[in-house]
Amino acid sequence: MVAMRNSKVIVFLLLYVLGCDATPSNTATGQENSVQLVRQAVFANPETGAPEVSTEEMDFIVSHQSAIVLDTRPHLEWSISHIPGAFNVAPKPGVPMALYTSDVAEIGRLLDGDRSQPVVLYCNGPYCGKSKRVAEELLKAGYSNVRRYQLGAPVWRTLVGNMVIEPAGARYVFEKDQTAVWIDARDTSVFQEGSIPGARNLPQGKVLPGKDVGEVFAAKNDGRLPMEDHNTRIVVFGEDSEQAVEVAKALVREAFHNVTYFVGTFEELDSSINE
């Protein structure tokens, strides 16, 4: 009931902000305010005893590395798409998949036994129970600085956008998802020398942030980007992660919400999908 009331309040505030002054000169300001409200929201589910952080707080934690971020989903799911910098550990032995829980003993090894170290848990959004179960077990084991980003991967993907794909995840997607779009962020001359089969070239050097010009705009019109289905999985890679993430950010700004960037080099990606 608390979560339901909180959700209604958030919706009301969003409608109020958007509707309180809808003249053309204030439309942009209203949209910015509404996004800020959503970024500050939490699901408000107190049942685990571990406080929640908002997307805004989570973004700060990730960018400043001020806590250990733990993805409490199965390893393959983590490897396919996770929040940058998030760790993943083995599952608790003997637990069925429907009650999947990360192993507290493995988390202890990750933290070098420091039960006061700040930890933030997340999983698959408001109704996912994985981070709740882990939070309960950590608190019982004496960990004193445990928080949850209960809005999880879906809301992060929507409001922040940057998600990472690991080598094992890239191999899985390449083999299993024939609808995935692979974007090569390297220079066109390098791309033409060879790339991932079926990849499309969107050079990082031609991406202009916040502009309806340049290569991203062209790619929306020439078939390189999946304009008829923005749910399509898009994997961006480049010479390295830094090159790939810039193009991934540009695609997120164009409302593609299933975007990941490869965590390593092109050579590592090529090796991982051809094992």
- Domain residue ranges in the chain: 55-158, 161-273
| Residues in contact with 263: Cβ distance below 8 Å, sequence separation at least 6, in sequence order | 164, 165, 166, 167, 241
Q: What's the first-to-final CA gap in the chain, in angstroms? A: 50
List CB contacts of 251: < 8 A, sequence separation 6 or more.
183, 216, 225, 234, 236, 259
Is residue 258 scored above 90 in pLDDT?
yes
Instruction: Please give the full DSSP string across 205-238, using - where no structure is assigned.
Output: GG--TT-S-HHHHHHHHTTSS-TT-TTS-EEEE-
- What's the pLDDT at 275? 75
Do domains 55-158 and 161-273 share one topology? The answer is yes
User: Is the model's pLDDT at 27 over the cut of 80?
Assistant: no
Residue 64 — pLDDT band, cuts 50, 70, 90?
A: very high
Residue 240: its pLDDT value, please?
96
pTM of this prediction exceeds 0.95: no
**pLDDT exceeds 90 at position 76:** yes
pLDDT for 82 beyond 90: yes
**Sign of the CA dihedral 67, 123, 143, 7?**
positive
In this structure, whether the domain defined by 161-273 belongs to CATH 1.10.1040.10 is answered with no
Give the C-alpha separation, 71 to 186, whole Å. 30
Least confident range of 12-21, 55-64, 164-173, 214-223:
12-21
Convert the pLDDT of each residue in 103-154 to its tens digit.
999 999 999 999 999 999 999 999 999 999 999 999 999 999 999 999 999 9
Q: What is the pLDDT of residue 102?
A: 98
Residue 11 has pLDDT above 50, yes or no: no
pLDDT-based confidence at 36, cuts 50/70/90? confident
Q: Tell me, what's the pLDDT at 188?
A: 96
pLDDT at residue 6 in the model: 43
Greater confidence (23 vs 153) lies with 153
Class of domain 55-158: alpha beta
Beta bridge partners of 120: 69, 147
Q: Judge whether residue 3 has pLDDT over 70.
A: no
Mean pLDDT for the chain? Answer: 88
